[in-house]
Structure 1
Amino acid sequence: MMTHRIHAIAGVLAMTLISLFMAATLYSEMFADHESIATVKSLIVAPGLFILIPCLMAVGGSGFRLARERGGRWVAVKKKRMPFIAMNGLLVLIPCAIVLNTWAGQGRFDGAFYALQSVELLAGAVNLGLMSLNLRDGLKLAGRLRTPVAAPSR
């Protein structure tokens, strides 16, 4: 029972943090000066990543533990998404956050900065989408969300 709660809380917190990072990035890029953008980038790296990474580890660990207790289609689908979410985070999002923080701290707001910023936002949106699908399927597994019944054919 406790594993379910850890999984749910860590998953929602991780999704909330990623959403917050993206919203703060977009807001600062559209409405703030370079100093504010640099502050946002710095806060995303520390303390942001130091909160997000343990949340993601808790979600992954508890998810694998819960998957051992259950099987079925929803578990299999969630397991297929997880490597993409993890690799996107480890190989794209974390390095982008660190490089963008470094460049913003140096005042380097050039074409490369904004190109990398675009990659980070796209990768973040992909991860949020995949995590949202996992949340939906988790709610189905828990019986908190019903699967729509197909309309009878005529």
Structure 2
Amino acid sequence: MVKTLHPIAGGIALLTIFTFWMSTILSELFSSTAAIVMVKTLIPWGFVILIPTLMTAGITGATLSKKFRGPLVAKKQKRMPFLAANGILILIPSALYLSFKAQAGDFDAAFYAVQTIELIAGAVNIALLGLNMRDGLSLTRWRRRLT
């Protein structure tokens, strides 16, 4: 079950973060102020999906890493503290701040500075989660060849 749950949780988490990121980009570039407010208001509600899926992916990944060792597992493990810190210290506070500012209609320089930081940090997490997915798929293919 852990072997099934881990990639599903990781995939949902990656898709959720990517959806937040693309929604922000598209609303900022092509939508009205009302759409930006809506996106910035809804993103924190997405934490209801994101946080449990990230926790599930982390717990199941830790469980799987006890059975399997190697350079790909080590790479995935090294990325995880940075992913978690980036999310907890930058992305979640930024999303909450931007939601508050957008709902107040306060689109000042601070809003756009934090928005820029959030987009960069989000892109980093998308890239790192993508690398973890790639390495996980490689591990799965490697294990299938052995059986």
- Which category describes the TM-score, using the shorter chain as reference length? over 0.9
Q: TM-score, normalised by structure 1?
A: 0.90
Q: Which amino acid aligns with 1:71?
A: R
Identity of aligned residues (%): 48
Number of the residue aligned with 2:17:
18
Number of the residue aligned with 2:47:
49
1:67-106 to 2 correspondences below 5 Å: 67-106=65-104
Unaligned runs of 5+ in 2: none
After superposition, give the CA deviation of every residue in 1:36-72 in whole Å (9 maximum; x if it has no partner): 11110111111x0111000000000000000011111
Q: TM-score, normalised by structure 2?
A: 0.94
Number of the residue aligned with 2:7:
8
Aligned residues: 143
Number of the residue aligned with 1:136:
134
Q: Which amino acid aligns with 1:56?
A: L
> How far is 1:138 from its partner?
0.6
Do residues 66 (structure 1) and 39 (structure 2) align? no
Judged with a 3 Å threshold, the aligned counterparts in structure 2 of structure 1 residues 109 and 74 are, in CA distance, closer, same or farther, namely same
> How far is 1:144 from its partner?
6.4
Number of the residue aligned with 1:120:
118
Distance in 1, matches of 2:87 and 2:80, equals 11
Distance in 1, matches of 2:142 and 2:42, equals 35
Q: Which amino acid aligns with 1:27?
A: L
Three-state SS of the structure 2 residue aligned to 1:35 is: helix
> How far is 1:33 from its partner?
1.7
Number of the residue aligned with 1:34:
33
> How far is 1:76 from its partner?
0.8
Compute the RMSD of aligned alpha carbons: 1.2
Number of the residue aligned with 1:109:
107
Q: Relative CO higher for 1 or 2, CA cutoff 8 Å, sep ≥ 6?
A: 2
Higher helix share: 2
> How far is 1:31 from its partner?
1.4
Distance in 1, matches of 2:73 and 2:142, equals 15
Q: Moved runs in structure 1, 4+ residues, more than 3 A?
A: none
Three-state SS of the structure 2 residue aligned to 1:98 is: helix
Distance in 1, matches of 2:76 and 2:142, equals 16
